[in-house]
Structure 1
């Protein structure tokens, strides 16, 4: 996978972890519903959302296929949460889109197993830090609703 980055912009090339500052966007209203720092490890295939990690979601996995502008990304994270009755159920967060290495941007669709669908747009930002009020977004099941 590292070979995909050899001809990338300086912001992308030669990094072990590619970090994006990104916004989740409601596709109906175009409103930003949350901000995040996404970390894509080029050495071990792990994918991390700092926003969801703060809510207990473990790192997920990513995969990619090279295209002229960069690569098509797919990633997912899973966790077990309690439903309305308290029963444990799987909760999945899936990402799919394009990382454009010519301009160091990320554009994906995000689908949560709760049925929420969001757009995600980000740029390379190795110094990305989550806002202090990260807990304002509520529970995983409420996120994006």
Structure 2
């Protein structure tokens, strides 16, 4: 009896799926991090323009300048909201990728366990056969002596 050739192949494929899922999780995490950094930069830009706007209000300025500041701040705020939406979507995507990774890990462990069980059965079969042969040889030797 030989170990089945399918189990190592299936275990290898399951391991490859795990590696792919892990790469996807890393990629999703990087996207989330990038979006968080973008949001931080935009928030800092918004706060900077709020500060500049307040400084400009203290000085003489035209109505056009005030409108420009406010228009720009509205655009930045809209971008922050857009990044928030993208960030929420990226976090959902990351959660989905993590679930896929868990499923792939579960499958990999299952395949490795099945492969190990198959090897254990093969070893047990060979041990039993060897024991039977040793017993038969012992009986034959005993019969030859008698």
Q: Same fold judged by TM-score > 0.5?
A: no
Question: Which has the larger helix fraction?
Answer: 2
Q: Which has the larger radius of gyration?
A: 2
Question: Which has the larger strand fraction?
Answer: 1
Q: What TM-score do the two structures reach when normalised by structure 1? A: 0.15
Q: What TM-score do the two structures reach when normalised by structure 2? A: 0.15
